[in-house]
Chain A
């Protein structure tokens, strides 16, 4: 046993090294976001900050417009998430439990959405939004996110609904439930855990999206955090590292917070979705 423990030491060091490689850049950036402008030029970049220079955050929040981007991202992500969950739950129920011809084909159409790349819808969507005049609004982004992230949500929901035995639904019908009350009173309460998985997976996909938001929205008033951050440097210039680090930190904090609280669900949901895709 002793020999085995000794043999494992190099592996333990390796694991520690991996964790350092993963965490150090993040830690370094958060630390650097508290540095005063002089510290960037007079001290090596790996040095720890002298104190908490909060002006970086104030500047990023006000001059850098992060307050606007934050508000937009929250509004857009929250509205899209509500509809993704509601629509996907309804469709999954309609496809798995309701009996009609073509439900299988319809399911196939939705599963196709999981593998369709953004590149295949981007150009036509841009022209459609341009023609209908909803380009450069929060609405067109919400609409896009609902449609584009529904497929994976339906896949995750359908798995849960399939496992609900028909006998339970039959009993509900005996008790005089209509199909709507059955959905609301029987199915919905059983899908809480599935809904949580759908919510976290879609949250990261939508909150972190760049390609749609930078293509469809160009005015500062509607930009999301990701687009805002991409062009942030233009606002401050290459020399001001403090506000940039502060802005990056502000952008990653919500995702890290969600991850710390729900990491098991996040990992399970994201890998499950990938294995299907």
Chain B
């Protein structure tokens, strides 16, 4: 048995083909990204070593700072709604309805599987104002709320909120399902004990259910923050960063820097920064969740 299971040739046969692809597509590029970030220009065209210069440049780069602020605004808003709506829906599906629970969850999850580009195109029509009113504006007209009619994704003030609405619509079902699973796992006898002690409604949630759900909320929050920090496709599909760069997130800036301005080195700096941002946030949230658990 041991001889067969540690056959060197067999190990090679099972591992080499896939591992080769993985190294080529994932591991080597990750290392290269870090190496690129220490250089200036593009490979082949004046590619010069400049050490950490690129990282220092970030702090005086106005576009970078403004993109960072936009990304953080987007991240905080969307994550907050994902958590609040996700939790509300989880509670609603558990305690609010007695029948069609599975159907309700299945429908709420549906937008999660839709292609982001299709959702972006759909919402750009929902928000449209010319040549014809989109869904939102024509409904506002129907209800006599003409003063609110505007170019939702054509104005810098409304474009970011409009983007957030789209992405919350698309992802809330995902968080509802994760948190629902966590809610169902809360031991029924503890909830019952709380009821006997006189807790109900919000008090029950505040002192019994939510504290017991801390690990799953932590997991959901980490996933939510790290995916909103990286946001790219949904912005590109809805607003492409506009108008007046009001939705120009870090990923879009990275993309333009590398592929439209041919600054691969600086683009990689931004890429590494995005990755580092995610790692830090995951570590911080993990820390908070675990510490409170011990206390």
Binding site for B on A (CB under 8 A): 8, 11-12, 14-15, 18-19, 21-23, 25-26, 28-29, 32, 40-41, 44-46, 83, 87-88, 90-91, 93-95, 97-100, 106, 109-110, 113, 115-128, 143-144, 146-148, 150-151, 169-170, 173, 178-180, 183, 204, 207-208, 210-211, 215, 225-226, 229-230, 232-233, 238-239, 241, 244-245, 248, 251-252, 255-256, 258-259, 263, 266-267, 270-271, 274-275, 277
- The answer on a CB contact under 8 Å between A122 and B121 is no
Contact flag A29-B122 (CB < 8 Å), given A90-B17, A173-B1: yes
Q: Contact at B174–A123, with CB atoms within 8 Å? A: no
Tell me, rounded to whole Å, the shortest Cβ–Cβ distance linking A1 to chain B.
Answer: 11
Residue of A nearest to B9 (CB): A179
Tell me the complex Cα distance, A207–B258, Å. Answer: 25
A245 near B125: Cβ-Cβ < 8 Å:
yes
Whether A94 contacts B115 in the complex (CB less than 8 A), given A126-B259, A256-B110, comes out as no
Contact segment of B55-63, B128-136, B205-213: B128-136
Q: Does residue B285 face the partner (Cβ distance < 8 Å to A)?
A: no
Q: How far is the CA of A6 from the CA of B271 in the complex (A)?
A: 54
A116 touches B30 (CB 8 A): yes
Please report the C-alpha to C-alpha distance between residue A127 and residue B177 in the assembled complex, in whole angstroms. Answer: 40
Q: A-side binding surface: helix, strand, loop or mixed?
A: helix
B14 touches A94 (CB 8 A): yes
Knowing A11-B95, A150-B21, A256-B113 are in contact, say whether A91-B15 is a contact too (CB < 8 A): yes
Answer yes or no: B183 CB below 8 A from chain A CBs.
Answer: no
B191 within 8 A of A: no
Which residues in B have some Cβ–Cβ distance to A below 8 Å? 1-2, 4-8, 10-11, 13-15, 17-19, 21-22, 24-30, 32-33, 36, 42-43, 89, 92-93, 95-98, 104-118, 121-123, 125-126, 131-135, 138-139, 141-142, 169, 173-174, 177-178, 181, 219, 223, 226, 230, 232-233, 236-237, 251, 254-255, 258-259, 264, 267-268, 270-272, 274-275, 278, 282
Residues of B within 8 A of A117 (CB): 230, 271, 274-275, 278
Q: How far is the CB of B122 from chain A (nearest CB, A)?
A: 5
Q: Is the CB of B7 within 8 A of A179?
A: yes
Q: In the complex, what's the smallest C-beta–C-beta distance from A59 to chain B, in angstroms?
A: 16
- At the interface, is chain B mostly helix, strand, loop or mixed? helix
Assess whether A98 is in contact with B11, with CB atoms less than 8 Å apart. yes
Given contacts A123-B33, A256-B113, A275-B178, 10 further A-B contacts (CB under 8 A): A18-B89, A94-B14, A109-B27, A113-B22, A119-B230, A121-B29, A123-B36, A179-B7, A204-B113, A208-B117
